[in-house]
């Protein structure tokens, strides 16, 4: 029986950038618009090129979902070697990617199995799900079993972050213009979370140090963290001053846990801006609980 093929989109972020190639995952790029020019994420525009352009771009860049025709072409190519595809994507509350994938998958009804799943997350959270799905596929698990694994993980993935400016949230349609103006006047730094697939403000802080405290408090509330990742500004690889402070606080609050530091990519930067810090957590399942 042919192996299940895992497909995702370029918003997925992996601690090992080579993971898609190593595990045979297909990645469909989203597009980023600067003015009148469009670039495919990860193909026409590297992260460094993106952040260099972002520093001088007005208005801010805009993220666009792949077209349904893009998915039709990719599905058609994959189906030459298998008849089972799991298409796993960025939250439908943050992008039209899932909707476009489902439109394309309808053309193949009755000829094969294409399951399109909404991850209800993005970036590292989506990467956690894709990695688990790809490992299960390589172990020969069925499409139904892989879907159950992913669905079992989704409610256990959490993310919080703060943003330094509200401009990108407004440009992305995540907050209104009046909120942006008021927040900027008051010097407010929103503390955000991904909940039920949406990026929503949960608190407001006035200094970056207070925001780092909130990130530490968030992580310390979990009794069982299977994986945790810190996302920092995409402009440098070494830990920033904020990230270094966060690492020091996490070492005290969550002794023995490792929090790799990763640069967040263009897709998330289009929504949050270039100077954010956040944490993604995959909460380990209670003892004895399995996802299958």
CB 92 within 8 A of CB 99: yes
How many domains does the chain contain in total?
2
Largest Cα–Cα distance in the chain? 61
Q: Are residues 83 and 224 in the same domain?
A: no
Q: What is the CATH number of the domain that holds 173?
A: 3.30.1180.10
- Sequence-distant (6+) residues with CB within 8 A of 83 are 2, 111, 112, 113
Long-range contact set of residues 200-204: C-beta below 8 Å, sequence gap at least 24: 201/175, 202/160
pLDDT of residue 234: 73
Give the pLDDT score at 173: 67
Which of 95, 121, 155 is the C-terminal boundary of a domain? Answer: 155
For residue 257, give its domain range: 157-283
The predicted structure's pLDDT at residue 238: 82
The pLDDT value given to residue 177: 53
Q: Which residue, 155, 178, 209, sits at the end of a domain?
A: 155
Domain boundary among 155, 182, 211: 155
Q: Are residues 9 and 150 in the same domain?
A: yes
Other residues' Cβ atoms within 10 Å of the Cβ of residue 46 = 13
**CB-CB contact of 49 with 57 (8 Å):** no
DSSP 73-96: HHHHHHTTT-SEEEEEES-TTT-S
290 is a domain residue: no
Classify residue 209: in a domain, yes or no.
yes
Question: pTM (2 decimals)?
Answer: 0.92
CA atoms of 42 and 215, how far apart (whole Å): 29
Q: What's the pLDDT score for residue 132?
A: 97
Pairing of strands 261-263, 277-283: unpaired
pLDDT along the chain (292 residues), means of 10: 91 95 97 93 89 84 96 96 97 96 95 96 97 97 97 96 76 56 56 88 81 93 93 82 94 92 91 89 66 46
291 within domain boundaries: no
Q: Per the domain annotation, does 201 fall within a domain?
A: yes
| Predicted pLDDT at 226 | 94
Give me the sheet containing 225-232, strands edge to edge: 198-205, 189-195, 157-162, 277-283, 225-232, 261-263
228 inside domain: yes
In a domain, 60, yes or no: yes
CA–CA distances in Å: residue 54 to residues 12, 238, 274: 20, 20, 8
**Residue 292, domain member (yes or no):** no
| 55 and 143 together in one domain | yes
Q: Helices in the chain by DSSP H: which ranges?
A: 19-23, 47-54, 68-78, 97-105, 123-138, 143-153, 167-171, 177-186, 208-220, 241-253, 266-272
For residue 163, what is the DSSP state?
-
The residue among 154, 108, 106, 99 whose CA lies nearest residue 130 is 154
The answer to whether residues 231 and 120 belong to one domain is no
**289 part of a folded domain:** no
């Amino acid at each position: 029986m042919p192996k299940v093929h895992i497909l995702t989109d370029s918003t997925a972020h992996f601690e090992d950038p080579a993971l898609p190639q190593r595990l045979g995952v297909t990645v469909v790029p989203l597009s980023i618009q600067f003015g009148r020019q469009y670039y495919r994420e990860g193909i026409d525009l590297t992260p460094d090129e993106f952040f260099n352009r972002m520093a001088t771009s007005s208005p801010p860049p805009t993220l666009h979902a792949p077209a349904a025709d893009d998915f039709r072409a990719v599905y058609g190519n994959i189906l030459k070697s298998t008849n089972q595809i799991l298409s796993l994507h960025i939250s439908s509350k943050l992008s039209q990617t899932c909707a476009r994938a489902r439109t394309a998958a309808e053309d193949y009804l009755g000829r094969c199995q294409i399951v399109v799943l909404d991850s209800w997350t993005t970036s590292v959270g989506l990467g956690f799900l894709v990695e688990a799905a790809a490992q299960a596929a390589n172990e020969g698990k069925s499409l139904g079993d892989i879907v159950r694994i992913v669905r079992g993980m989704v409610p256990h993935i959490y993310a919080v972050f703060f943003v330094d400016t509200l401009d990108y949230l407004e440009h992305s349609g995540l907050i209104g213009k009046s909120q942006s103006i008021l927040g900027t006047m008051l010097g407010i730094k929103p503390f955000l979370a991904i909940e039920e697939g949406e990026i929503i403000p949960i608190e407001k802080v006035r200094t970056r140090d207070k925001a780092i405290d909130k990130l530490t408090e968030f992580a310390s509330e979990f009794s069982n963290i299977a994986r945790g990742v810190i996302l920092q500004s995409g402009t440098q690889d070494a830990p920033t001053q904020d990230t270094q402070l966060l690492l020091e606080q996490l070492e005290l609050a969550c002794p023995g846990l490792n929090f790799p530091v990763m640069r967040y990519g263009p897709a998330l930067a289009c929504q949050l801006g270039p100077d954010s810090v956040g944490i993604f957590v995959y909460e380990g399942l209670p003892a004895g609980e399995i996802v299958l």
